[in-house]
Structures are given as structure tokens and as C-alpha cells.
Structure 1
Amino acid sequence: MTNKSKYIYPLISLLLLFLLSNGCAVEKKIEFQDLKGSWINSMNDYFQIQDTSSKFGNSNYVGHYGNVVNIYLELYGDTLSFQNSYYSSETNFEKLYVEKFDFKILSLSDTFLTIKPISEHSKKLFEYRDTIKLIKQIYAVDTSIHFEKIKFHTTHCYGHCPIYHLEIDSSGNVRLHREMAYHEIKEGKYEVDSTAIGYYQGKLDQNTLSELVSAIQTCNLNTLEFDGADCCDGSIQTIIIYYNGRRKFLQSMFPPRMANRLIMKLLEISEKKDLKKIDEKFQIEK
């Protein structure tokens, strides 16, 4: 064997091994669990992925600039298929129509998701953009937002919606007026909880305050808008937030999903049991 052959054969063997191993490599299977959560970007695109079990539930959302569709979701290999099913009076409610918003998953990590619209409905919804790059909402932190004070109001509805007036400052000091409160006396049946109605004050623990700040910094606050809707019989939710020396007013019966995390945290604080009930009455800015 020549010296030249001595080097060529091992190189050929390594090359064959590389080609064989790559040819036989199996791509990592995309698991639904890895996709669960809310995904957003600076263009206010919003994807909420929760389950694949309910064909007519409201667990999954996909939209752009508030144009969010409430739909069923299936995962086919590397394709996300959001499906909007409905019946129409044009066919006497006998034919089921299915609109498919399909997206090919190009890349996925714990933090980032890149997808490509591949069905006509998804292309149209996202204005024929080639790709959509998203970040999991809990990681989309805008540290330039310096929260000073937030005020939160809910109104009555046709049902048993509590009426809250809440104020929290950057130190975690809380003032709360529970104008109306209910408790469940048996499954699906509520009555007024007169003991919970009244004025309260307290201070958030550091963990809860940090969670509130996180919710404020991950909702695209600078571009967040509510549509002012008050058309129907739901509770109107109002947020007045002071940050970075400015005041922002948001109000709607149907707030955008982008604000869900913040609203859920404000409702949670409004229902805290460790706030102190006081005799002093006060008004919170509306």
C-alpha cells in the first residue's frame, strides 16, 4: 500500500460513514407539548396553543393585529393546522364548512418558533408574508418599560361578574374596592357575597409584584390597543397604566388576547384573601 493510499482509504471510510449516518438520521419529532403556550412578536401576531381535543372549544387562537380566530388545532408532523368549522344558513345549516389555517414549522426551540403560512386562509390572514417569527410570550420581556402605577376596573354583566376597582403602584401597594362580589353556593349557581364587598388595602409580596411586572412587560404595551367595544352583555374591562412618564388608557368588553396574561394577574390580585378590609372609602381613577 502506498503512502497516498494509506490516507485516502480512511478518508473515504469517514465520508461514507458521514453520508450513511446523515442519510439514516431521523429528524426529531415535534411534540405538541413543546408548542403549548402563547407565542407573539413585535407585529402583534398572536398564537395560543393549548389543546387538540375540542373541535368547537376556545383553547386555540391565531391572528394578526387583533384579527384572532377561535379554532380547533391539529398537529400533522411538522404542520400546524388551525381549523375553523361552521354551518351556514346558505345551506340550511346542513353542510359543515372547514377553513384551514395551515402553517409549516420551520424551527422550534423553548423560546422561538418560526412558521410559514402554507394554506390560502393562513396566507391571506397574514397578508402573504413568507415566514412568521415568534417568541414565547413569557420570554418576550421589554425591559425598557418601567411601570409606575396601574388601575383596573371591571363592570357588571348579564350574569354574575364581580365589579372591581383596583390600584397598584410600583412598590406593590394595593387599594381595592370590591363593589360587587359573588360566591358559588353549588355548581353553576352563585349568590352575592356581601362579606366580600367593601374597601381594601395591602401590599403585594415580592413574587406577586414580579409576576405583575412580567405581565406588563410581555404584552407589547407600547403598541397594545383595546377596541373600546361595549356592545353586548359582558363585563367591560379598563386598564389605566402609568409607565415611562406616560399614561395609557385601554378599555373593551373584548380585550385582545395579547393582554390575557396581564388581565388574569389583575383579576387574581383583585380576589386575594390577604388584603385588609378598611372603613375608609376612596375613588380610583376611571
Structure 2
Amino acid sequence: MKKLLLLILILTFNLSFSQIEELKGKWISEQNEAISIIDTLDSFNGIMSETKYDYFLLKIKSDTLIFKPWHNSSDNNIQNRFELKLIDVNINSLTIQPISKLSIDFFKKEEPITFINQKQIIDKSFKFEKLIFHSSSCFGTCPIVDLEISSNRKLKLTGDYYVENSKRKDKERSGSYIGELTEEEYNKLIDLIIKSRITTYKDTDKNANFCCDGSIKTFVVYHNGIRKYYKAMISPPLLDELISFLQTIDQKSILTKTTDEFEFEK
């Protein structure tokens, strides 16, 4: 009997483990609804509708994904849970259906939603012209970055950085620079812009969420003769890699320090 119970526990664990491994990743729908799944032990799993985004703890129960607020994660508090029925998942796509009141209200629909894996996003029609990026200070050691990159790979950068694991300013990294991206890093930038889907987000000049003391990120992307503006403090998970790339671009580029003062488009 004990061996049978142990076998059942092992099979249950393996099932849950295989489920989470298959689900891990960042997924986005045609309407820019998104799901980010890191781990069942992590509170940075996220779901995003067209207008809202938040982080949650994740529990998998049979064919249901249960997202619970990290500050109120009791299994007994069923009214505070976002429940999504898992219909299908593979390396390319994820299909779920909102089934709890909160999840239906969040996504504003009861019908199944199909998401594609961020890694599978491509856009051969994308023509990059210029990117301007700003990241502000925060209550901590967030880098302050003002950056412009053109289609000829040339860049202008002004940055204030901090020594890792310290509140001391990194004087070596901080300052104003001119330089150029390598072809490899430039191609990576284009791929990150495409995979972030930032060119499809709604402009967020007046309706963005600036509630707290986090770093505010601003993007101005010129492409295909179009200007795209996006500004947010709590940004969608699909922007994470692009933001990280831009905030550490001084370590990826051939730069020359300058005393020039730059004016960047806001």
C-alpha cells in the first residue's frame, strides 16, 4: 500500500513537472493579451489583457491554470483567483479558456484564446528606422538611460549606472557616449523589437500606469514610415529582454566617451 501511494505521488509530481516545463515561456495573442509562465514556485508569472497587467503565483490543478495574487494566495480564497482552462499547448501555441469570474472579467471574454510563443514571432516586413529609449530613476539603483539608435547602427547614449550590488554610482560606466552597434548586436536588437510586439501596442501617453516608485520606460520607435510611442512603469513581460538589452547596451557597443550634450526626443 505504501509503495502504491509513493508511486501515485511520483506520477503526480512528474505530471505537474512536465506540464510546467511545457507551459514555461511568454505567450501572446493577436489582441496582445499575454501570459508569462516562469514556475509554480515563483510569484512573477503574469497575465495581461489589452489594458491591464499583473503578477501572480501559479498553481496547476488537472487541466486548469490557477493564478493567485501573491499577497493573498490561500487556496480557500477562490473568489480571488484567475482560473484558465488549458485546452492545448505545444512549442508554438497555447490555447486557454477563461472560466472563473475574475478571468472572464479580466480578458472580457469567455471564448478560448490562442497565444503564440514569443520565440516564434517573426515579421519580415519590419523596416527599422530609429529607436529612442529612456529609463528613469526609481527607489533603488535602476539605471538612468537616454539612448538613440539609428538604422546605420550609430548610437548616442547618456547613462547613469550603479556598481552592482551597491548604491554607489559607477563612474566608469556613467557619462555620455557616441558609438556603433556591431552587426550581430544590431540584428539582435531588430529581433528583440519584433518579438516584443511593441510596434502593435496602444500608445500610452496619458493612460499609462505610473502609480508607484518604479522606473518609467519610454520607447519611440520609427519603422516603416510610422512613429510608435509607448510609455509605462509596469511593462508587459514581452518587453523584458528588449529593456534589458537597451539598459546594458554600453557593454555591447563600441563606444567613445564625449563631453557633448545630447538632446533626445521624448
Scaled by the length of structure 2, the TM-score of the pair is 0.81
Which position in structure 1 is the counterpart of 2:198? 221
Runs of 5+ in structure 2 lacking a partner?
Answer: 1-14
Q: By how many angstroms is 1:231 displaced? A: 4.3
Check whether the contact 1:105–1:116 (CA below 8 A) recurs between aligned residues: yes
The structure-2 alpha-carbon separation of the partners of 1:281 and 1:255, relative to structure 1 and needing over 3 Å to count, comes to: same
SS of equivalent residue, structure 1 residue 44: coil
Which position in structure 2 is the counterpart of 1:109? 90
Q: By how many angstroms is 1:85 displaced? A: 5.1
Which position in structure 1 is the counterpart of 2:62? 77
Q: By how many angstroms is 1:49 displaced? A: 0.2
What is the CA–CA distance in structure 2 between the aligned matches of 1:76 and 1:197, rounded to whole Å? 48
Scaled by the length of structure 1, the TM-score of the pair is 0.76
| Partner of residue 192 from structure 1, selected from 169, 190, 195 | 169
Which position in structure 2 is the counterpart of 1:132? 113
What is the CA–CA distance in structure 2 between the aligned matches of 1:277 and 1:193, rounded to whole Å? 14
SS of equivalent residue, structure 2 residue 187: helix
Structure with greater contact order relative to length (CA < 8 Å, sep ≥ 6): 2
Q: By how many angstroms is 1:207 displaced? A: 2.6
SS of equivalent residue, structure 2 residue 198: coil
What is the CA–CA distance in structure 2 between the aligned matches of 1:97 and 1:77, rounded to whole Å? 19
Which position in structure 2 is the counterpart of 1:66? 51
| Partner of residue 203 from structure 1, selected from 180, 184, 209 | 180
Which position in structure 2 is the counterpart of 1:282? 262
1:6-45 equivalences under 5 Å are 31-45=19-33
| Partner of residue 163 from structure 1, selected from 122, 144, 148 | 144
In terms of Rg, which structure is larger? 1
Q: By how many angstroms is 1:273 displaced? A: 6.8
1:222-237 equivalences under 5 Å are 222-225=199-202, 226=204, 227-237=207-217
Which position in structure 1 is the counterpart of 2:10? none
Deviations 1:221-253 (A, max 9, x none): 343133444443222211111111121222232
Partner AA of 2:110 in structure 1: R
Which position in structure 2 is the counterpart of 1:91? none
Which position in structure 2 is the counterpart of 1:3? none
Which position in structure 2 is the counterpart of 1:53? 41
Partner AA of 2:198 in structure 1: L
Deviations 1:239-283 (A, max 9, x none): 111111121222232333343332222123145475332343332
What is the CA–CA distance in structure 1 between the aligned matches of 2:76 and 2:252, rounded to whole Å? 45
The structure-2 alpha-carbon separation of the partners of 1:264 and 1:193, relative to structure 1 and needing over 3 Å to count, comes to: closer
Partner AA of 2:143 in structure 1: P
Using the aligned pairs only, state the percent identity.
Answer: 32
Which position in structure 2 is the counterpart of 1:263? 243
What is the CA–CA distance in structure 2 between the aligned matches of 1:81 and 1:274, rounded to whole Å? 46
What is the CA–CA distance in structure 2 between the aligned matches of 1:145 and 1:228, rounded to whole Å? 26
What is the CA–CA distance in structure 2 between the aligned matches of 1:68 and 1:231, rounded to whole Å? 13
Q: By how many angstroms is 1:133 displaced? A: 0.5
Runs of 5+ in structure 1 lacking a partner?
Answer: 1-28, 88-93
SS of equivalent residue, structure 2 residue 257: strand
What is the CA–CA distance in structure 2 between the aligned matches of 1:47 and 1:182, rounded to whole Å? 32
SS of equivalent residue, structure 1 residue 212: helix
Q: CA RMSD in A?
A: 2.5
